[in-house]
Structure 1
Amino acid sequence: MLTTDDLRFFAAIVRATSLAAAARDLNVSPPAVTQRLRALEERLRVHLVDRSGRQLTLTDEGELLAERGRLVLEDLEDLDDAIATRRGQVRGHLRVIASLGFGRRHVAPVASQFQEDHPELKIDLILSDRLGGIPTSGWDLAVHVGELDHTASSLVMRHLAPNERWACAAPDYLHRNGTPGEPDALHAHACIALRENDEDVTLWRFGSIHGLSVGSVRIEPRLSSNDGDVVRGWALAGRGIIVRSEWDVAEDVREGRLVRVLQEFALPAAPVVALLGSRRQARAARTGRFLDALQAALDPTPWRLPRGTTGMDR
């Protein structure tokens, strides 16, 4: 007969790319994982994993056990969550994913405080620079900034905070090279691109705050990186013009380290949203309370400047 320990063990196998990775996740030796998997297969009299290739591949029986086992574990977790909620407790395991920069600055502090307030809760915070395509499993809540691809259409979404995109540069750069008056003028400027989420990052799309469409400008970046901190650092050093999220550069603009340009031509907004993979995750008390804590931390929006602030006001 299968036990919940068996199901959790096999779930770790499914999450891993190899038995060695599963051993690290379970904090045991690779031979121990191999031995336990073999014992489970012998007890069930089926092969669960094809180990002939370099990566683990589930057999049909393995796929069945993985899917049905996941449902059983989720039901048990729901039951435990419901009982804990009746006692006014928040407990269980909360898996949160977020983008690198925003996650470090705004999600990590909330996660730390929330876990301190609820010591029976375990939180895994996974930060990534590739959240354009949200993973299909292995998480309860995703905090996303910006546009989403089609895979997010089936997810439960909750708006957390507004966030614009700004074109900006250091005062020193603008003093040496002039300030662009319209998007087409960017062709004569040094532009810096952030490469993330497989987006077409060299196509900067502009509209007008008065409703007049300007269209897109194809830039030829002299510098590019997949790290937002690097791109921001280059801009602060006077190397060129960047397009960055308001949350990332608002303080620099407020302090005059960066200056907004082309303000009359609006770039596509990049709102901050929370995504939940299923109605079950949306109902979980720990998820709802963490969302409330995150929403409270972002209200009022901490990066929002008075309208009209350019960075030249100092």
Structure 2
Amino acid sequence: MSETESIDSADIRFLLAIRQFGTLAAAARALGLTPSAVSQRLQQLEQRLDTRLVDRSARKLQFSEEGALLCERGVELVAQFDALQEELRMQRRGLVGTLKINAPFGFGRRYLAPVVADFQSENPEVAVTLTLSEQPLTGGAERYDVIVHIGEMRASNLIGHLIAPNARFACASPALIERFGEPQTPEDLARMPCIVLHENETDASLWQFSKGKTRLSVRVPSKLGSNDGDTVRRWACEGRGVILRSEWDVADDLRRGTLRRLLPAWKTPYADVIALTHNRAGLPRRTRDFMQFLQSRFRPLPPWRA
């Protein structure tokens, strides 16, 4: 590549901002520039590279093959460059910079918030933001350094790190079991009221069970549901129905006896707690240290199994 065709990390960050915000006007607001300045800078970059990077004629910006490749590879290069700069700063000042974390509401409030606060206390030069959302993986993953996810993972270019094992249990209150009887097989759930949790765009009323080589899919009857796990759990404790919930959420109720586990001989799909990061090789030191800190708080046993 000749000198006139060269680009630097600022050019890549500029393109990534356009991709993230979707329009030149939105990117201009985020960068603190005028739309005309953004358009002019994009034209100059394309002239230097002698190639079209973004198609502006469509209603929505479309990156060319070259523009998409530059963004895809550029993310890794920028991350490695930032990591190098941070390592240099670390030599003088210790752990510094910003750390952005995304996690589900219930798990984030109960288990992750204390870990994040303790990590920041031990590393006062790191500014940490914890964002809680219903679906952490729905859009905007590039805005976060760490995304905590529970359950199965779809295909993704993110790197998964196991944080803690987590099973799912079918549970009900003692009062509900006394009223309807204890189910002996998953099919028996069809005669009991069930409460469903709407999350991760899954089929909430289709529950999966296995025992040995036997696999069963049961469509449970449900007139009550929510997208909030804490609400679903409280309804179950009140005797309103059977739930299928993560072990981390119902462990305390099982110990207290406000809920009882049903069908213990049958397994349901595991929903391990994992943390997702970007390119493993280019992780900043603060992100690597936080991952180690996070994993140490859930080992050798997570709090719901302690």
TM-score range, shorter chain: 0.7 to 0.9
Deviation at 1:138, TM superposition (A): 4.1
2:152 to 147, 152, 164: 147
Match for residue 3 of structure 2?
Answer: none
1:184 aligns with 2:182: no
Deviation at 1:186, TM superposition (A): 0.3
SS where residue 270 of structure 1 aligns? Answer: coil
What residue ranges of structure 1 are gaps of 5+ in the alignment?
306-314
Match of 1:17 among 22, 26, 37: 22
Deviation at 1:87, TM superposition (A): 4.3
Matched, 1:166 2:169: yes
Question: What is the letter of the counterpart of residue 92 of structure 1?
Answer: G
Q: 1:42 to 1:204 in 2, by over 3 A?
A: closer
Following superposition of structure 1 onto structure 2, how do residues 133-282 of structure 1 map, counting pairs within 5 Å? 137-149=142-154, 151-152=155-156, 155-208=158-211, 211=212, 213=214, 215-281=216-282
Aligned to 1:309: none
Letter of the structure 2 residue corresponding to residue 298 of structure 1: F
**Residues 1:229 and 1:70: Cα distance change in structure 2 (over 3 Å):** same
How far apart are 1:110 and its partner, in Å?
2.0
Secondary structure of the structure 2 residue equivalent to 1:222: strand
Q: CA RMSD in A?
A: 3.2
Secondary structure in 2 matching 1:22? helix
2:24 and 2:39 in contact (8 A); partners too: no
- Structure 1 78/173 Cα, relative in aligned 2: closer, same or farther at 3 Å? same
Structure 2 CA distance, aligned partners of 1:268 and 1:119? 40
d(CA) in 2 for partners of 1:25, 1:55: 18
Letter in 2 for 1:147: E
| In 2: Cα distance, 1:22 partner to 1:104 partner | 32
Q: Does the Cα contact within 8 Å between 1:19 and 1:33 map onto a contact in 2?
A: no
* Counterpart residue number, 1:102: 107
Q: Is the 8 A contact 1:183 1:206 kept in 2?
A: yes
How far 1:65 moved relative to its partner? 5.2
Q: Amino acid of the residue matched to residue 57 of structure 1?
A: Q
Sort the Cα spacing of 1:2 and 1:39 in 2 relative to 1 into closer, same or farther, 3 A: farther
Pick closer, same or farther for the CA change 1:43–1:206 going to 2, 3 Å: closer
Q: From the superposition, tell whether residues 15 and 155 of structure 1 become closer, same or farther in structure 2 (CA, over 3 Å).
A: closer
Q: 1:45: Cα distance to partner?
A: 5.8
- Correspondence for 1:294: 294
CA shift at 1:220, angstroms? 2.7
State which of 83, 92, 117 in structure 1 corresponds to 2:97: 92
Q: CA deviation at 1:134?
A: 8.8
What secondary structure, in the 3-state scheme, does the structure 1 residue paired with 2:225 have? strand
Match for residue 73 of structure 1 among 56, 66, 78: 78
Other structure's SS at 2:81 match = helix
Paired AA for residue 288 in structure 1: R
Q: SS in structure 2 opposite 1:269?
A: coil
Deviates more, 1:38-47 or 1:131-140: 131-140
Q: Is the 8 A contact 2:137 2:147 kept in 1?
A: no
> What is the deviation of 1:163?
1.1
- Provide the rounded CA distance (Å) in 1 between the counterparts of 2:173 and 2:255: 12
TM superposition shift of 1:289 = 1.0
Deviations 1:80-106 (A, max 9, x none): 122234447222343433333222322
Could you say which residue in structure 2 is the equivalent of 1:308? Answer: none
Aligned residue in 2 for 1:312: none
State the match for 2:285 in structure 1.
Answer: 285
- Three-state SS of the structure 2 residue aligned to 1:273 is strand
CA contact (8 A) 2:209 2:215 kept: yes
2:88 corresponding residue in structure 1: 83
Q: Mark the CA change 1:73 to 1:212 in structure 2 (over 3 Å): closer, same or farther.
A: closer
Cα shift at 1:190: 0.7
Equivalent residue, structure 2, for 1:113: 118
Q: Which moved more, 1:245-254 or 1:138-147?
A: 138-147
Q: CA, structure 1 residues 236+273, in 2 after alignment: closer, same or farther (shift >3 Å)?
A: same
The alignment's TM-score, normalised by the length of structure 2, stands at 0.80
The answer on whether the counterparts of 2:28 and 2:38 sit within 8 Å (CA) in structure 1 is: no
Kindly indicate whether the alpha-carbon contact (under 8 Å) linking 1:163 and 1:272 is maintained by their aligned counterparts in 2: yes
CA distance in 2, matches of 1:232, 1:126: 23
